[in-house]
């Protein structure tokens, strides 16, 4: 299963709106073929592994990071292909998060006399597709709040540069963007910073959708996010929760909120954030612009606690990531 996970990681950020999935075929205790899902509309990992196989699969075992699909979507159900190939056993990690499909593969495969084992490295396999899992289960995209900030919690620009974080941190942000379905900023960020909201300096299968959340709609016509091709989707005077749901309805499984303070404040006030990614620059700025505005909380016990927290030193910067704990 670890080998299947290694295959699945090759697809992270490249398969929207599908999950990243890997598969390996084992016979006689050896891996004899492997495959990973390369993109929506393309063969699933199980089919890629079968195509890489230069012999019969009869009697072999296939390890898959996600429960094999049992319904016909853009491609035929993998359960049918597995049954026809003659596998004696299927081992998978994470159960399909869609309650209509969860566990259905077990029954279908067992009906063909195939032994099924599930839940192997299940948490790791589910973690790989946490964005997709939430979107499938709720229709809402997984929301990551990202900001570069000073040690005193400000997003004001350095006097000599618009950047707070260093160049290495900015390269890491590009990697983060490449794994997201959409990037959203507030109207003030567009007016002040004129961002592009694109992935640059690295290959990407598809640029994330760009979105702007604005109360007034007063955006400069020259803003780079509004230029063709693929101008940003503008949500004017729309509740943020509704804007996120509309993105989910468009097949966007994850959204990166990149500021400013009003947008992040609204997201936290409405309890819409699933994960945070903060780049802390070693400076004090002062000034009136907080990283997270909004109403805030009345007491510290009402604050948003983080779990699965990690810290990464990037030159002089520190990147803090964590999941918002759900009480």
In the prediction, which pLDDT does 177 show?
Answer: 96
Instruction: Report d(CA 88, CA 278) in Å as an integer.
Output: 47
With cut-offs at 50, 70 and 90, classify the pLDDT of residue 159: very low
3-state SS of 307-319? EEEEEEEECCEEE
Residues near 227 by Cβ (< 8 Å), separated by ≥ 6? none
Predicted model pTM: 0.91
With cut-offs at 50, 70 and 90, classify the pLDDT of residue 96: very high
Catalytic choice (46, 48, 188, 258)? 46
Burial of 22 (0-12, 13-18, 19+ CB in 10 A): buried
Q: Mean pLDDT, the chain, as a whole number?
A: 93
Task: Verify whether residue 46 is a known catalytic residue.
Answer: yes
In the prediction, which pLDDT does 162 show?
Answer: 65
Question: What's the rounded mean pLDDT across residues 198-214?
Answer: 94
With cut-offs at 50, 70 and 90, classify the pLDDT of residue 184: very high
Tell me: the pLDDT tens digits for 120-154? 999 999 999 999 999 999 999 999 999 999 999 98
Inform me whether the pLDDT recorded for 164 exceeds 70.
Answer: yes
Instruction: Report d(CA 302, CA 160) in Å as an integer.
Output: 37
Question: What's the rounded mean pLDDT across residues 245-270?
Answer: 95
In the prediction, which pLDDT does 156 show?
Answer: 64
Nearest Cα residue to 147 out of 17, 271, 268? 268
With cut-offs at 50, 70 and 90, classify the pLDDT of residue 63: very high
160 versus 99: the higher-pLDDT residue is: 99
CA distance to 132, 232, 246, 298, per residue, from 196 (Å) = 25, 10, 22, 36
Identify whether the C-beta of residue 160 lies closer than 8 Å to the C-beta of residue 239: no
Beta bridge partner(s), residue 230: none
Neighbours of 114 (CB within 10 A): 21
In the prediction, which pLDDT does 300 show?
Answer: 64
Nearest Cα residue to 323 out of 174, 177, 142, 151? 142
In the prediction, which pLDDT does 118 show?
Answer: 97
Q: Can you tell me whether residue 62 is helix, strand or coil?
A: strand
Burial of 112 (0-12, 13-18, 19+ CB in 10 A): middle
Looking at 34-43, 81-90, 133-142, 288-297, which range is the least confident one? Answer: 288-297
In the prediction, which pLDDT does 161 show?
Answer: 52
With cut-offs at 50, 70 and 90, classify the pLDDT of residue 155: confident
Nearest Cα residue to 92 out of 57, 124, 116, 58? 116
In the prediction, which pLDDT does 75 show?
Answer: 78
Question: What's the rounded mean pLDDT across residues 193-212?
Answer: 93
With cut-offs at 50, 70 and 90, classify the pLDDT of residue 158: very low
Inform me whether the pLDDT recorded for 230 exceeds 50.
Answer: yes
**120-134 residues labelled b (16+ CB within 10 A) or e (exposed):** bbeeebbebbbbbbb
With cut-offs at 50, 70 and 90, classify the pLDDT of residue 24: very high
Identify whether the C-beta of residue 157 lies closer than 8 Å to the C-beta of residue 149: no
């Amino acid at each position: 299963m670890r080998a299947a996970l290694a295959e699945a990681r090759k697809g992270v950020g490249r398969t929207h709106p599908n999950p990243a999935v890997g598969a390996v075929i084992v016979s006689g205790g050896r891996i004899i073929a492997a495959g990973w899902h390369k993109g929506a509309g393309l063969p699933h990992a199980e089919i890629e592994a079968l195509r890489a196989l230069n012999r019969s699969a009869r009697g072999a075992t296939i390890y898959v990071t996600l429960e094999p699909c049992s319904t016909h979507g853009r491609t035929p159900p993998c359960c049918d292909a597995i049954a026809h190939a003659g596998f004696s056993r299927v081992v998978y990690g994470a159960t399909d998060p869609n309650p209509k499909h969860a566990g259905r593969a077990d029954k279908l495969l067992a009906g063909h006399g195939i032994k099924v084992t599930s839940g192997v490295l299940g948490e790791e396999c589910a973690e790989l597709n946490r964005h997709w899992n939430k979107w499938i289960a709720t229709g809402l995209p997984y929301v990551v709040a990202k900001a570069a900030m000073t040690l005193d919690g400000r997003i004001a620009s350095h006097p000599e540069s618009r950047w707070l974080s260093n160049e290495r941190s900015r390269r890491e942000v590009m990697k983060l963007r490449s794994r997201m379905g959409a990037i959203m900023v507030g109207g003030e960020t567009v007016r002040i910073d004129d961002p592009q909201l694109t992935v640059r300096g690295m290959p990407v299968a598809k640029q994330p959708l760009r979105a702007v959340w604005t109360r007034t709609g007063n955006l400069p016509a020259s803003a780079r996010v509004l230029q063709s091709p693929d101008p940003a989707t503008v949500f004017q005077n729309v509740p943020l929760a509704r804007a996120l749901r509309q993105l989910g309805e468009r097949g966007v499984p994850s959204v990166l909120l990149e500021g400013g303070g009003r947008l992040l404040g609204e997201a936290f006030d409405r309890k819409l954030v699933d994960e945070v990614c903060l780049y802390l620059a070693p400076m004090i700025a002062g000034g009136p612009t907080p990283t997270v505005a909004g109403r805030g909380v009345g007491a510290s016990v009402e604050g948003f606690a983080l779990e699965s927290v990690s810290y990464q030193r990037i030159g002089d910067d520190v990147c803090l990531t964590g999941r918002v704990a759900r009480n």
